[in-house]
Amino acid sequence: LQEFRLDNGPAIFFFDQVQQPVVKIDVLFKAGKWFETKNGVSNLTASMLEKGTPTKSSAEIANTFDQCGASLEITPGFDFVSVSLYSLTKKLNEALPLFIEILRFSSFPQQEFKQLTDIQLQNIKVNNEKNSHVASKVIRKSVFGSGHPYGNSMEEDDLKKTEQQDLINFYQTCFSPFEIYV
């Protein structure tokens, strides 16, 4: 394990013991539910990262990663958001610039935002009919309270009150990497 610190703050942890033709880069952001300004904005912002940049549409992003044998995994959580790139080592030079562009210059296109909110609205309706989902919400609310980030869940009203600009503001405020694992 090697550890470096970039001039702008984030620590980079490099694991070089694994000798495989694949690279995984995890970038962690202090951008989970704990840091939300509006209920659900963390999850929505994370979901929109790969939906467009100033130079690429979501389809172009997906196509580029496919051509590189790479994939992107975005995991929003309670305390942080993790964005991971999986790439063939020999194709990393092709995949890495797009990965960095997504992290630094996501554009949150209005059409993609509308499509995502429609899908999320449908997911909320379906999940609210599942006993396990409802039980999980009730338990978290009972344990943590509705005012705590762990105690609340995004509901239909939260989603309907969220605007594209809310995501852009959250992205600009919270999406600065604090740890990177290679």
Is the Cβ–Cβ distance between 141 and 152 less than 8 Å? yes
Confidence (pTM): 0.89
The 10 Å Cβ neighbour count of residue 144 is 13
Tokens of 18: 């694994």
The 10 Å Cβ neighbour count of residue 136 is 13
pLDDT tens per residue, the chain (182 residues)?
Answer: 778 887 777 888 877 776 788 999 999 999 999 999 899 999 999 999 999 999 999 999 999 999 999 999 999 999 999 999 999 989 999 999 999 999 999 999 999 999 999 999 999 999 999 999 999 999 999 999 988 989 988 999 999 999 999 999 999 999 998 899 98
How far apart CA 29 and CA 13 sit, in angstroms, is: 15
